[in-house]
């Protein structure tokens, strides 16, 4: 039973981190569009690889929702979002 709880906790943490991560490419793209600075081609492959990994966890719809939420952020909000760690569950010992 404990193993199931541990696995559920791990899956939940992974899901949360991936949901957060899926927003950042959208925020970056919107910021680049706002200042008229398209992403260099050399940077696109790593972004595509990251999104593919996220799709493996969240599915296509989950990534699309995250990217759209990121695009809706203002630059200040996106910067804070990128720099703040999500809450960490305390170790109950």
Return the C-alpha torsion angle 65, 60, 84, 49, nearest 10. -140
Q: Output the furthest CA–CA distance in the chain (Å, rounded).
A: 54
Question: Residue 23: which residues within 8 A CB-CB, separation 6 or more?
Answer: 66, 67, 69, 70, 73, 78, 81
C-beta of residue 8 within 8 angstroms of C-beta of residue 48 = no
**What stretches of 1-93 show up as alpha helix (H) in DSSP?**
2-35, 41-71, 75-83
Q: Token pair of 49, please?
A: 């690889």
List pLDDT tens digits, range 20-77: 889 999 999 999 999 999 888 898 999 999 999 999 999 999 999 999 999 999 989 9
Q: Would you give the DSSP letter of residue 36?
A: T
* pTM (2 d.p.): 0.75
Domain boundaries, the chain: 2-83
């Amino acid at each position: 039973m404990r193993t199931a709880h541990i696995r559920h906790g791990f899956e939940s943490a992974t899901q949360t981190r991936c949901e957060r991560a899926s927003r950042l490419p959208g925020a970056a793209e919107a910021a680049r569009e706002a200042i008229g600075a398209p992403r260099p081609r050399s940077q696109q492959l790593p972004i595509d690889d990251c999104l593919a990994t996220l799709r493996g966890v969240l599915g296509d719809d989950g990534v699309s929702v995250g990217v759209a939420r990121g695009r809706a952020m203002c630059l200040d909000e996106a910067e804070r979002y990128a720099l703040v760690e999500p809450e960490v569950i305390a170790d109950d010992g």
